[in-house]
Amino acid sequence: MRYVNNQRERYHFKFNGMLGEDAKQDRVFDVVAKDVVLGALEGVNGTIFAYGQTGSGKTFTITGGPDRYSERGLIPRSISLIFGEAEKRSDHTFLIHISYSEIYNDAIYDLLDPDREVEDLEDLPRVRVREDEEGNVVMQNLRTCRASNEEDALALLFLGDTNRTISETPMNMASSRSHCIFSVIVEARKIGEDVVRRSKLNLVDLAGSERVKKMGIDGNTLVEARYINLSLHFLEQVIVALQERSIGHSRPHVPYRNSAMTLVLKDSLGGNCRTSMIANITFEQMHVDESISTCKFAQRVAMIANEVVVNEELDPQLVIKRLKKEVHDLKEDLRMLKGEEADRGPLTEEERERLGKDVAEYCADTSPEATLTITGGMLFVNAGGVFAKCDKDVQEYIQKLRLQIEQRDNEINVLVALLQKEKGNRIGEATFSDNSKQPQPVNEPKQPKADMNTAANGGASQSNKDHADLTNVDALVDRNKSFELFRKSYRRNQAIEDNKTTLRDKYEAAKAKGKQLNEAKEKINQLKAMIEQIRIKRSVARIVDRSMEDEPIETDPEEIKAKAALEKEKSKYKEAFYALRELKKEIEHLQMLLEQSRVRLQKDFELWLRLTARQQQESRVLHPHDDNSAADAEPSTALSVDCSQQTNTNAQRKVAWAENERPGATQDSQKNALGISNAYLQHLGLSDVDLKAVEAARPFLTGNSEADRDIIKFYEARAKLLKAYPQ
C-alpha cells in the first residue's frame, strides 16, 4: 500500500520587491519609503508600516539601530528628506507638525510630553480616540508639536523613543511591547496662492506577534503578548474585509472599532492614503510557519486598492486677507488719482515716524510675499524711498556683521565641542548622584559575565578580573568606582566609544570644510575685485584710446581667465557648503545617539546596581549560616539600604522558608558553586539542572518550592533556546 503525502511543502508569494538580510538601510528607504514621503509633500496621505513576528527586525527597519549613524531607519531618513525638499522648494511655504503615540495593551499614550519626567507608562498622557459626524478619526489629548527644522524633528523622535515600552523576550532582548505611530503633518502653500495642501504621513512600528506556547512566556509578558496578538488579529479581520470589498464581494461593514489600533489606522488602511507594507520574516526552521503567515497577510494587504486624491482646499483666512488688501490698495489708488492730498504741507513728525516704521518692517520681513504699501500721495512715496535707501544701507551693514558673528560662533562651537568631547571620556560625564530617582526595571537582569566587553583591553584574565570586581559588593560602596566597573563591562560600551570616535572625526572634517569654505569665499572676493579692476582699466584705456571702442570685451584674455577662476571657486564654495551642511546633520544625529546611549546607560546602571545588591541580600536571607554572624548580614552601606526596600511579608516569608524547609546540616554542607544547597535542588526535583540556569534564576527565587521550580525550569528552557538559536 502506498501513502500519499498531501501536506503542502512549497509556497509561492509575489511581492513588489525583496530585500535580503544584507540590505543597507538607505536602499530600504529608497525602495519602500521615498515615493511615499515625496507624495506627502504634494498633498497625498501616506502610511508605511512593518509587520512580522517578534524579533524579525521591524523596529530596526522603521526607527533604526540605536548605535550608529549608518543604521538610521525610515523615520529619521524621512525627516531628512522632508526638510531637505522643503528647503529646495523656495516657491512654497511649509508648516510641519509631528505627533508620536503608543498603543500599549489597547490603550493609547502620547509619547511627546516634554513637561514631565517619565519613569513609568502611567506618567504619559492618555489619548482618547473617536469618530466625528463625517466619520473622520479624532485623537483627543494627542500633542502635535511644530518642527521648524530637521533638528527639532529629530529631538522629538528621540524624546518619543526614550518613552517607549520595551522589555526582554525569549526571541528579542529589546522587544517593542507596543504599537507606535510616528505622524508627520505637512501643510504646503505656493507663494501668492490661496490653495493649501494638507497631508499626513504615518510611520507605524507594529509590535511582533508571538506564539505563547512555543516561546514559553508568562507573567506580564504573557499579558502583553495576548493584547498584541489580539490587536493583530483584529487588524487581519479589517484587511480581510477590505480585500473582499476590493474583489467585488458585498461587505458593508469593516470592523475598524474592534481595537484602538485599527480605528487609528482607519484612513491608512482603507481610505485616501498611499500605503506601503514591509513584511519582516525570519529564515530559521522553527519559525517557518510564522513566516508563511506573514507572507499570506502581506498578499491580502497587496490586494487592497485605495483611491488616492490630493488634499487641497482654499484657505478662507488667506482669501479674506488678500481681498482686504486689494480693497485697501484700490481705495488708496483712487485717492491718489483724485489728488485729494495735493494741497497739503510737508509731512508731520508723526507721519514720518509711522512711515519709517512701515519701511523698517518691510525691510525686516524676509518672506517672499512681503509688500510695502505707501498711502497718502507722492509726498509719502518720495519720503518712503528716502527711508528705504537709508534702511537698505543699514540692513546690508547689519547683515554683514551678522555673518561675521555667525562664522565666529561656528568656529567657537566647534572648538568648544571638541574640548567637551575630550573631557567627556572621563567618568565625570556620566556620574550620578546617590539620591537620583530609581527607574522601574524594564528588562530582565543580564549576568555580568554575559555583558563583558573586553575588546579594548583583551584577554581572559582581564575579563575574570572585571567579573570579580562586579560581584564584589564592597567595591560598590563608591558609586563612581562601581559605575566605572559597570561601564567597562557594558555590552554597548564599544558602540558608544565608536560613536565618540566617529563624532570626533566628523568635527575635524567639519572644521576642515569650514576652513575650505572661508578660503573659497576669500578667493571669490579677490577675483571679483580683480575683475572690477580689469574693467576699470579697460574703461580708462577706451577713453584715452578711441580705437579700442570697437574691440569686443570678451576678447580680453585676462578677464576671461579671472572669470573661469571665479566660477571654479564658486563651485568649490558650493561643494564645501553642501558637504558642511551634511556633516552638520550627521553630527547632530550622532550627538542624539550618544545622549540616548547615556540615558540608557544610566538606567541600566541603576537597575544593575539594585539587582546586584538585592541578589547579595537575598543570598544572606536564603543562607543565613554562611555568614560569620547575624550582624554581618545586616546592610551597612548606602547601596544596601537603597536596595533593601522589600515588603516585610516577603522578608518574613523567605526567612520562615529558610528555617522550616532547610535540610539537615550534613546535607546543607554540600553546596554547588553558586552557594545554593544541593539538597534544596533535590527537594525541587532539579538535581541535574544546568548551573547557568540556576545562576540566571537566582535573583528571582521566592522561597516557595513550586514557584522556584517553575522559575528555574523557565530559565533552563530559555538557556537551551538561546543556545540552539544564538541569533
Distance CA 388, CA 378 (A): 15
**Counts for the chain of helices (H) and strands (E), in that order:** 23, 12
Record the cell numbers describing residue 223, joined without a space: 499579558
Compute how many other C-beta atoms are within 10 angstroms of the C-beta atom of residue 300.
15
Interstrand relation of 179-190 and 274-280 (parallel, antiparallel or unpaired): unpaired
Q: Produce one character per residue of 324-360: b if its CB has 16 or more CB atoms within 10 Å, e if not.
A: eeeeeeeebeeebeeeeeeeeeebeeeeeeebbebbe
Residue with cell 529619521: 76
Distance CA 702, CA 690 (A): 19
Give alpha helix (H) positions in 665-704. 665-668, 678-683, 691-697
Is 56 annotated to bind ligand? yes
Q: Between the CA of residue 627 and those of 620, 632, 675, what are the distances in Å?
A: 7, 7, 12
Record the cell numbers describing residue 517, joined without a space: 569654505
Is 54 annotated to bind ligand? yes
Distance CA 387, CA 380 (A): 10
Interstrand relation of 166-167 and 175-176 (parallel, antiparallel or unpaired): antiparallel
- Name which of 172, 303, 288 is nearest 228 in CA terms: 172
Q: Produce one character per residue of 74-98: b if its CB has 16 or more CB atoms within 10 Å, e if not.
A: bbbbbbbbbbeebeeeeebbbebbb
Residue with cell 522589555: 167
Phi/psi of residue 128, each to 5°? -105, 140
**Residue spans of beta strands (DSSP E) within 111-217:** 126-131, 137-140, 145-146, 166-167, 175-176, 179-190, 195-205
Distance CA 508, CA 502 (A): 10
667 close to 677: Cβ distance less than 8 angstroms: yes
Is 59 annotated to bind ligand? yes
The identity of residue 240, as a single letter, is V
Is 52 annotated to bind ligand? yes
132 close to 138: Cβ distance less than 8 angstroms: yes
Is 246 annotated to bind ligand? no
Counting every residue, how long is the chain? Answer: 727
Strand partners, 188: 94, 197
- Binding residue positions: 52-59
- Binding residue positions for ATP: 52-59
